[in-house]
Structure 1
């Protein structure tokens, strides 16, 4: 996997548009401002990703959804337990008694909004129809979540595409990340559609 800085910048811009759409949708739902930014789009090996993004031995909530339509691949959203607790309070109200089931439900709801917003933004930009299949949730070590996701979609390359997001809510930072797992040739189709 080898892409130019211009191509990675173009991909970052698409993801920023998707993030903006998702943040707007979430902000309307909770009646409070949420911001989402994409500080980096990089090609990394697994070791670098675990050292720079999320350690492989940190337990996270993970939600994986297959992309279907004119492009194939998957979206993977991961969020720490602490941030999932904050997010559940944000979505359900401070007074709600939080159970693991409610927290998982809030994570799934947020992820559904994020996935659909991103796919709508990418689809509009490249003039393609994209939808996500029913998401699958898990709670496991990040290393197990990411390797299972890449193996499920036959991404066996030693280097992977990392699209790291940052979510902020008021003064709070949510420890969460979104990963785009493109099918073979998908990024090339996106770059071609963008003229890159």
Structure 2
């Protein structure tokens, strides 16, 4: 069945629910890891073209921190958690208690902490998507880079091969008391994976 425009709202509603459950799972996992309450705001979920990713995180020349990994299984693809240096410092300071990256340099411990947060997010969102779809999906070991957004995405293309045309964006906001820090989480299914995902989610194609 062809996907009609009035199915777009349904498609985004399903993806928002996936994002909500994934955020809840991530908050629980982070609370357990840190032994302190961690909340995550209800995420904003959108679909956007792959070429719009860099612009969404500040432009291709903006220096960001990115955790990226490959999704393997029934619906392969790529995942990126991208956060600005300012938001990373806020996240490390307010959530983890580091006096982080004041000289735009990060210690091994700080980078390891950011990598683990990205890993928890990836696992949580991927687990909720797998539960919804019944598809087998598992993440590879994540990698971390501090570089310009355009360079990171180009490296991802070289590392993982051709990316899909579209990305699922989940705007992720961490809350700790009155403090908050924001990041961008992208799932970029391989070209043949989008139809599998939406069929499994019950969206008519």
Structure 1 unaligned regions, length at least 5: none
* TM-score between both structures, scaled by the size of structure 1: 0.83
Instruction: Describe the shift of the 1:167–1:134 C-alpha distance in structure 2 as closer, same or farther (beyond 3 A).
Output: same
Deviation at 1:83, TM superposition (A): 2.2
Residue in structure 1 matching 2:37, options 26, 32, 38: 32
Aligned equivalent of 2:162: 154
Matched, 1:41 2:43: no
Instruction: Describe the shift of the 1:96–1:135 C-alpha distance in structure 2 as closer, same or farther (beyond 3 A).
Output: closer
Aligned equivalent of 2:142: 135
Distance, in Å, in 1 between the alignment partners of 2:33 and 2:139 is 20
CA contact (8 A) 1:72 1:182 kept: yes
Distance, in Å, in 2 between the alignment partners of 1:43 and 1:32 is 32
Q: Secondary structure at the match of 2:83?
A: strand
Residue in structure 2 matching 1:64, options 68, 89, 97: 68
Aligned equivalent of 1:163: 169
Q: Secondary structure at the match of 2:42?
A: strand
Residue in structure 2 matching 1:73, options 77, 85, 91: 77
Q: Secondary structure at the match of 1:65?
A: strand
- Root mean square deviation of aligned Cα: 2.7
Residue in structure 2 matching 1:108, options 107, 115, 129: 115
Structure 2 unaligned regions, length at least 5: none
Distance, in Å, in 2 between the alignment partners of 1:95 and 1:62 is 20
Instruction: Describe the shift of the 1:39–1:81 C-alpha distance in structure 2 as closer, same or farther (beyond 3 A).
Output: same
